[in-house]
Amino acid sequence: MPPHLLDGQPHQHIDRPRRVRQPGEPLRIGIGGPVGSGKTALVAALCRTLRDEISVAVLTNDIYTTEDADFLRRHAVLPDERITAVQTGGCPHTAIRDDITANLDAIEDLIATNDPLDLILVESGGDNLTATFSSGLIDVQIFVVDVAGGDKVPRKGGPGVTFSDLLVINKTDLAPMVGADLGVMARDAAAVREGRPTAMISLTEDPTATEVLAWVRSHLDHAH
């Protein structure tokens, strides 16, 4: 990954070798983004549609609670045994990037309990724009931001915004209320992402997240 600034100083993550999926292994999609951006709501939306098409499971990450997993169970988006949680006990990005052991163990347990699986969605704990998943943990990454932070968010960049396989700009229905210009956000995202796709969505207006769903299906088709 190219160098970037952290606290005003040059900083660089060392890319790990991308994991090699074995035949029959489920596709793993990481879903990251700041607190409140709508990650869990997006996971729920994807599960509600995909559960009737494929075998899917979810792994959430929280610092000290299982709140996101509990939300998904409470709304019955999947059977309970297909939802599990990792309590990271520290900075959220550590468990998805630096020491992924707990997540890998949880994935093994999900597969053992629910085999065969086609897809595992791995949701990170809420973090800032620098959070990225280890390529040893997931196959592709979605990064979710929302318009509440204003239209400057894509312009700020950061590894999540810049290098994720899909950037999701969520809650577009709120743009008029917060004075965010969606055109500016789309333009700035395109400028920093060098051809990587961006989806602008509102789960209020489109509860199935049609554009994100199509992207996920395309990767599932490619995986098989």
Asked, for residue 62, whether it belongs to a domain, the answer is yes
**Structural domain tally of the chain?**
1
52-73 confidence digits (pLDDT tens)? 999 999 999 988 889 999 999 9
Residue 17, pLDDT score: 57
Q: What CATH number is attached to the domain comprising 87?
A: 3.40.50.300
Whether 126 has a binding-site annotation, put simply, is no
Whether 32 has a binding-site annotation, put simply, is no
Asked, for residue 134, whether it belongs to a domain, the answer is yes
Whether 179 has a binding-site annotation, put simply, is no
Asked, for residue 165, whether it belongs to a domain, the answer is yes
Whether 140 has a binding-site annotation, put simply, is no
CA 92, distance to chain mean position in Å, is 13
Asked, for residue 201, whether it belongs to a domain, the answer is yes
Whether 40 has a binding-site annotation, put simply, is yes
**pTM as predicted:** 0.90
Distant-in-sequence, close-in-space partners of 15: CB < 8 Å, separation ≥ 6? 1, 135
Asked, for residue 19, whether it belongs to a domain, the answer is no
Whether 134 has a binding-site annotation, put simply, is no
79-122 confidence digits (pLDDT tens)? 999 999 998 877 777 889 888 999 999 999 999 999 899 999 99
Asked, for residue 13, whether it belongs to a domain, the answer is no
Whether 34 has a binding-site annotation, put simply, is yes
Whether 37 has a binding-site annotation, put simply, is yes
**CA dihedral sign of residues 64, 47, 211, 27:** positive
Q: Which domain covers residue 195, as residue numbers?
A: 26-223
Low-confidence stretches of the chain (pLDDT beneath 70): 1-18
